[in-house]
Amino acid sequence: MNKLQVSMRGQNVIASPIRKFLPLMRAAEERGTRVYKLNVGDPDLVPPPKFFETIKKYNPASLGYAPSPGIKAHTEAWIKYYRQFGVDLAAADIIPTVGCAEAIMLALQAVADIGDEVLVFEPLYTSYKSFSVMTGIKLVPVLLPIENNFALPDAKIIEKKITKKTKAIVVINPDNPTGKLWSDKELSTIIKIAKKHNLFIISDETYREIRFDSKKPVCLLSHKDAPQNVVVCDSVSKRFSMPGARIGCVVSCNKAIMQSILKFAQARLSAGTLEQLGLVPLLQHSKRYTDQITREYHRRRDVVAQGLSKIPAVFKPAQGAFYQAVGLPVDDAEEFVKFMIGKFTYKGATVMVTPMRDFYISQGKGKNEIRIAYVLNTKDLKQAMDVLARGVEEYNR
């Protein structure tokens, strides 16, 4: 007889490494400890008020489904938004999604089947690991060591990982969790490999504008050699500080890919109607807001780097997104985080960061690494970095 049991997928999928310390954190707060939370990439910045103003004005008789390919005004606003990065899109090239998370799921399922392989670079934004279990697509990691500041290895090393089953390469630019910006040379290498082996590139550009090198943000679709191979996964979550809106999009000039994604999208009906409407003016005039938050994250990046310079830590200041990956002088970052939340306080406060072990697919990597998400104002961040430095000293005593 059949047993009533959870699927293998359900059993194998990992819990969010970011959220697994929450019970310890709550206990610390109940003890009266102030916890500086640098663990979740949930922006603290005020989103553009235009979003709420627009939604308030909308007063329909009923709240219907949006069309699966997106509300016309919303997709047109994305098209205008992309033009500033040299990307000219037709309406059929873009479908709004429920955050970048859904865009990635749709893209993965359009480029690969169960048992196929997708190359990723580790450390890796952990949701990809869950998506791999959910879709039955195998992730094949290429290691980017922290000691090399996450630089891309030689093309030959990447090509060695390609098999008959490989269908795509994932690039996250700017990257979570490393804060890496991909150089033009690195992107060209990936495009060359993709073209040579007929692979898709899933380009996760959630943090596109948040880069600290004063260069123009890049969309891989603008690369002259790339378009047919590229599927961009995008989001408003970080760009407009509104992950709660749950809006992103999937974009490709490859018609066959977009036709498949549209059929998937029809099955899940649509992204939110109100949120699509509220985002129209933001997408039409994004630069002022994104310039402003990039300056703020840049200041925070400098505060974090300054704080870390007091610890014998392995790191180079992040180049983009709002994360700093750090090799700490501790034996085990998970134990260190438990110590910080469970026991340690300095001036009544402690710090919550994310251990990076779960950001790796290969066993045994990242044992002493943490990720800092700088989602606090510079004053609190400075204090948090002091607490972190004291915590490292105390942990090693």
Ligand X SMILES: Cc1ncc(COP(=O)(O)O)c(C=O)c1O
Q: Point out which residues bind ligand X (CB under 6 A).
A: 41, 99-101, 125, 172, 176, 204, 206, 235, 237, 243, 248
Going by their DSSP bridges, the two strands 248-251 and 94-97 should be labelled as antiparallel
Least distance between ligand X and beta carbon 246 (Å) = 7
Tokens 């697919």 correspond to: 361
**CB-nearer residue toward ligand X: 182 or 346:** 182
Sign of the Cα pseudo-torsion (74, 79, 84, 85, in order): positive
Least distance between ligand X and beta carbon 248 (Å) = 4
Contacts of 343 (CB under 8 A, 6+ apart): none
Contacts of 341 (CB under 8 A, 6+ apart): 21, 24, 25, 28, 35, 350, 352
**CB-nearer residue toward ligand X: 132 or 235:** 235
With CB atoms as reference, the residue minimizing the distance to ligand X is 99
Least distance between ligand X and beta carbon 138 (Å) = 19
**CB-nearer residue toward ligand X: 354 or 383:** 354
**CB-nearer residue toward ligand X: 212 or 344:** 212
Helix axes 333-342, 22-30, angle to 10 degrees: 20
**CB-nearer residue toward ligand X: 248 or 307:** 248
Listed residue (354, 104, 323) closest to 205, CA to CA: 104
**CB-nearer residue toward ligand X: 346 or 359:** 359
Least distance between ligand X and beta carbon 40 (Å) = 8
Least distance between ligand X and beta carbon 160 (Å) = 25
Least distance between ligand X and beta carbon 206 (Å) = 4
Question: Residue 209 has which token pair?
Answer: 């504008």
Separation between Cα atoms, residue 317 and residue 325, nearest integer Å:
9
